[in-house]
Structure 1
């Protein structure tokens, strides 16, 4: 696994470039393919009797992206949904997934420059979640 770290780092840098330049039209994987993968994860979670809260939430986010017409775009185009005002409202009403997604955003945004002011989103639990510049402009 440790030997894979450079590959993950390269992929993260590539995705950051794709997001920063809004260049979603030359996908390595698409929103639709990731949605299908997550749907399989939901099925496996159900079959194994393990919690599927996160996969179900992720599936709903990717379904929003497909419904919005982004299915054929690079999977990083999910940021278009994450940045939308309607998603931010839905996220604020979903405490568990909202807190988890906020944590993921913080992790992703800590890898990037803080030169753009992050925004605050009030979660359903009443705690402010910090979202970084690249995902929530």
Structure 2
């Protein structure tokens, strides 16, 4: 890789880390379209708990993976919401980058050995004329 390529990769990684670690805290706290349509018909208290009404959100349950360390856009065990959200974003970026680097490392082109062209030389496993290789020596008659 050239120096320019490394600069581009490191620069992109730094921008992604900045966006995930800092800017993600400024995302809208209001529910998106799906959440708001599921909440339609219910009433909520100040802590956003359903207090009455009839809506599909009443049947909502925690996800099976809700106990994982990075569940719900935060780091489990960190009480500061801004720090928790930022750290989970940074961890997600680093994990994704690591998986990407690993995948590219697995499928990278490896240099060929031997003559450099990757073609076998004469006599390297190919039959030559007159040896009878590949033809029967005895005809059944």
- The interval holding the TM-score normalised by the smaller chain is under 0.3
Q: Is the helix fraction higher in 1 or 2?
A: 1
TM-score (norm 1): 0.25
TM-score (norm 2): 0.24
Tell me which of the two structures has the higher relative contact order, counting C-alpha pairs closer than 8 angstroms and 6 or more residues apart: 1
